[in-house]
C-alpha cells in the first residue's frame, strides 16, 4: 500500500466565516493508495486526532495517530488498493495544519490567540481547498468521525457536487446541550489556570494541570464500560491507562488549539445546510455514545430525509460508546462497503 504525507501552503488567503481572511493557511495530509479524481475517499479525523489515520504509532500514552486502522487497509471497508484514501488535517488541529500552535508567516511567531476564530465551515473550506490542490474536484465519498463528521456534512452542503456519498460516524447534527456546555467551557477553565498566562505560555511550559483535567473529563464521555472492558483487564488498569493518556495529552496538545477546536465543535449545528446536500448520507451510531446519542443521530436522519436527502441510519451492534466505534473492522466493513458500492 502506497503511503504519502505532505503539507500544502496556500498562496491566497482563505475567507473565514466570521469575515476575516486567513493568510497563507496550510493543510497537512496523508494519502493511502493513489488518490485520483472521482475515485478517492476523503477521511476526516475527530477532535483529538491527527490526519495520520494509520500512524505511525507515537512513543506516548496519548495516540493522536493510527485511529483509522479499523477503516483503512486490505480487506477493510476502505481498501486503498480499490478505494484510495486522502486524509487532510482540519484547520485548527495542531498536527501540521494551520492552528494556534503553527507559525504566523508574517511574524514568525506562533499564531496563538492572534489566529482568527475558526468554525466547522472554515474547516470544510480548508478541506475543499486542499483537495483542489491535489487535483481532486470530485470524490467518491467523504467519511468523517465525530468532529470530522460535522465537517463532512458541512462540506457536502457547501460543495454539493464534490462527493457522491457522505459517511458520518459518531456524530449528529449538533452536540447535546451538556456536551456543548462542557466543551464550550474550555476557554474559561484554561484562563483560570495561572500557567495559561493569557495564552502566552512557552511551548515547553503549557497549562498541564488544566489540560490533564480537560482530557480526563473528555475520556468520561468517550470511554464507557464497554470500551474499558474490551481494552483492560480491570478498572484499576483502565484508570492507570487513562491517567497516563491525560498526562501525555497535556504535554502534546496545544492548549489554545484545544480550546479553539472545542469552541468550534460546541458551536456547530450543521442542520441548516441539509437542504443543499445532494450526496447520499449514511449515519453510523453507537447505542451508548455520549458524544452522539443514538436518538439524536436518528433525529438527524429524519431531518436529512425531510430535506430530501437520500439518507440511511445504522446503529452498530456490540459496544456502542464513542471510543468503541472504530475498534472492530468487521462490523464496519459490510455496511460501509455496501454503501460505497452505491456511490
DSSP 168-196: EES--SB--HHHHHHHHTHHHHHHTSGGG
Asked if residues 154 and 270 have their Cβ atoms less than 8 Å apart, the reply is yes
pLDDT digits (tens, 9 = 90+) for 132-155: 999 999 999 999 999 999 999 999
Peptide bond into 330 cis (omega under 30): no
- The CA distances from residue 295 to 218, 240, 244, 301, 318, in Å, are 21, 32, 33, 10, 17
Q: Give the per-residue pLDDT at 199.
A: 95
At 11 the three-state DSSP class reads: coil
Instruction: Average the pLDDT over 245-263 and give the result.
Output: 98
Q: Give the per-residue pLDDT at 1.
A: 62
What whole-number percentage of the chain has pLDDT above 90?
Answer: 91
Take residue 227 and report the three cell numbers written for it: 470500551
**How many whole angstroms separate alpha carbon 66 and alpha carbon 52?**
6
Residue 44 predicted with pLDDT over 70: yes
Take residue 271 and report the three cell numbers written for it: 442542520
Asked if residues 163 and 142 have their Cβ atoms less than 8 Å apart, the reply is yes
Q: Give the per-residue pLDDT at 2.
A: 65
pLDDT digits (tens, 9 = 90+) for 277-326: 999 999 999 999 999 999 999 999 999 999 999 999 999 988 899 999 99
Tell me the pLDDT of the chain averaged across its residues. Answer: 95
Instruction: Average the pLDDT over 191-220 and give the result.
Output: 96
- The band of 226, judged by pLDDT with boundaries at 50, 70 and 90, is confident
pLDDT digits (tens, 9 = 90+) for 47-93: 999 999 999 988 899 999 999 999 999 999 999 999 999 999 999 99
Q: Give the per-residue pLDDT at 17.
A: 96
Kindly report the number of other CB atoms within 10 A of residue 63's CB atom: 18
DSSP run (H or E) holding 311: strand 311-315
Q: Which of 9-13, 186-190, 191-195 has the lowest mean pLDDT?
A: 9-13
Would you give the DSSP letter of residue 313? E
Asked if residues 15 and 121 have their Cβ atoms less than 8 Å apart, the reply is no
Amino acid at each position: 500500500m502506497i503511503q504519502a504525507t505532505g503539507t500544502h501552503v496556500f498562496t491566497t488567503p482563505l475567507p473565514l466565516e466570521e469575515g476575516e481572511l486567513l493568510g497563507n493557511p496550510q493543510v497537512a495530509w496523508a494519502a493511502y493508495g493513489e488518490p485520483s479524481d472521482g475515485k478517492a475517499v476523503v477521511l476526516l479525523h475527530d477532535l483529538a486526532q491527527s490526519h495520520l489515520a494509520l500512524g505511525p504509532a507515537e512513543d506516548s500514552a496519548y495516540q493522536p495517530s493510527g485511529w483509522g486502522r479499523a477503516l483503512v487497509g486490505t480487506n477493510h471497508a476502505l481498501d486503498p488498493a480499490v478505494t484510495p484514501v486522502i486524509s487532510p488535517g482540519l484547520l485548527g488541529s495542531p498536527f501540521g495544519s494551520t492552528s494556534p500552535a503553527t507559525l504566523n508567516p508574517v511574524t514568525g511567531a506562533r499564531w496563538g490567540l492572534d489566529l482568527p476564530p475558526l468554525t466547522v465551515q472554515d474547516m470544510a473550506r480548508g478541506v475543499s481547498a486542499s483537495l483542489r490542490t491535489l487535483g481532486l474536484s470530485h470524490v467518491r465519498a467523504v467519511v468523517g468521525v465525530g468532529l470530522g463528521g460535522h465537517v463532512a456534512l458541512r462540506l457536502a452542503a457547501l460543495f454539493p457536487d464534490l462527493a457522491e456519498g457522505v459517511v458520518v460516524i459518531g456524530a449528529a447534527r449538533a452536540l447535546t446541550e451538556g456536551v456543548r456546555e462542557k466543551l464550550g467551557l474550555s476557554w474559561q477553565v484554561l484562563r483560570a489556570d495561572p500557567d495559561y498566562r493569557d495564552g502566552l505560555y512557552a511551548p515547553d511550559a503549557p497549562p498541564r494541570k488544566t489540560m490533564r483535567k480537560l482530557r480526563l473529563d473528555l475520556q468520561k464521555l468517550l470511554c464507557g464500560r464497554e470500551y474499558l472492558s474490551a481494552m483492560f483487564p480491570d478498572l484499576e488498569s483502565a484508570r492507570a491507562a487513562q491517567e497516563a493518556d491525560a498526562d501525555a495529552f497535556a504535554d502534546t496538545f496545544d492548549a489554545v488549539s484545544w480550546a479553539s477546536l472545542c469552541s468550534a465543535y460546541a458551536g456547530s449545528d450543521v442542520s441548516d445546510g441539509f437542504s443543499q446536500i445532494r450526496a447520499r448520507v449514511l449515519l453510523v451510531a453507537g447505542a451508548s455514545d455520549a458524544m452522539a446519542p443514538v436518538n439524536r443521530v436518528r433525529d438527524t436522519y429524519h431531518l436529512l430525509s425531510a430535506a430530501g436527502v437520500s439518507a440511511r441510519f445504522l446503529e452498530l451492534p456490540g459496544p456502542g460508546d464513542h471510543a468503541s466505534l472504530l475498534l472492530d473492522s468487521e462490523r464496519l466493513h459490510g455496511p460501509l462497503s455496501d454503501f460505497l458500492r452505491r456511490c
